[in-house]
Amino acid sequence: MDDRRRRFEAQALPHLDAAYNLARWLSRSPADADDIVQDAMLRAFRAFDGFRGGDVRAWLLTIVRNCWLSAGRAKQRRGHTVLEDSIVDAGPDPEETAIQTGHARRLEAMIARLPDDFREVLILRELQDLSYREIAEITGAPIGTVMSRLARARTMLREFVKEGA
């Protein structure tokens, strides 16, 4: 095993769960999350020499987010409607049906209703526990924008929860 592979396994691979969690929440589909993460890990590995230190997790999540965006663009080009297939196809995945209680499923559908820009900051903050600075780095948005999107996402989601209750 060469040195790069060893460093990659030691530094980046421990964040595979974080990468999958983000991909899973952004794409709302286990199959898409699989593809996105494989794609992201491969790109991260190829670009690993160019990684100049710093926060590996934030760097990796940035790549995951970009892979999710390009997967979305590829789907649109093929004429898929991303929103529909993911909500309908919350899917008979045996591993998931156990975890996916009615509550989680409803919550996921509500989060899915948020516009992408708002949804991703909410996921990064609430489900990945990232700081504003890290979220700004990952999404490429200024911190002020992250803050207002987050506030907007929370207000919207609260409305959805109220409606659904």
Partner 1 sequence: MSPDHFADHLLNTQSYLDGELTGAEAAEAERHLQTCAECQAFAATAADVSDALRKAPRYTAPAPLRAAVLARLDKEPVRFSPRSFWLGAAGGAGASALAAGFTLMLMLPPSIATLTQSVADAHARALTSGHAIMVASSNHHTVKPWLAAHAGLSPPVTDFADAGFTLTGGRLDEVAGRTAAVITYAHGNHEVDLFAWPDRGAGLPESGMALGFRTAFWKSGDMDFAAVSDMDQAAFRKFVMLARSQRE
Site for partner 1, rule CB under 8 A: 2, 4-5, 8, 13, 16-17, 19-21, 24-25, 30, 33-35, 37-39, 41-47, 49-50, 59, 62-63, 65-66, 69-71, 73-74, 77, 95, 99-100, 103-104, 107-108, 111, 122, 125-127, 131-132, 140, 144, 147-148, 150-152, 154-155, 157-158, 161
Instruction: Pick the closer one to partner 1 by CB: 13 or 83.
Output: 13
Instruction: Pick the closer one to partner 1 by CB: 14 or 83.
Output: 14
Least distance to partner 1, CB of residue 46, Å: 4
Token pair in block for residue 1: 């095993």
Token pair in block for residue 53: 């230190």
Q: Which residue, among 78, 64, 80, 82, has the nearest Cα to 24 in the 3D structure?
A: 64
Least distance to partner 1, CB of residue 132, Å: 6
Report yes or no: 37 and 27 within 8 Å, Cβ to Cβ: no
Within a 10 A sphere around the Cβ of 70, how many other Cβ atoms?
Answer: 12
Report yes or no: 48 and 7 within 8 Å, Cβ to Cβ: yes
Least distance to partner 1, CB of residue 66, Å: 5
Q: What is the distance of C-alpha 64 from the center of its chain?
A: 7
Least distance to partner 1, CB of residue 57, Å: 14
Least distance to partner 1, CB of residue 89, Å: 16
Q: How far apart are CA 97 and CA 91, in angstroms?
A: 8
Instruction: Pick the closer one to partner 1 by CB: 113 or 152.
Output: 152
Instruction: Pick the closer one to partner 1 by CB: 5 or 83.
Output: 5
In 7-64, the DSSP E strands lie at none
Instruction: Pick the closer one to partner 1 by CB: 30 or 91.
Output: 30
Report yes or no: 18 and 57 within 8 Å, Cβ to Cβ: yes
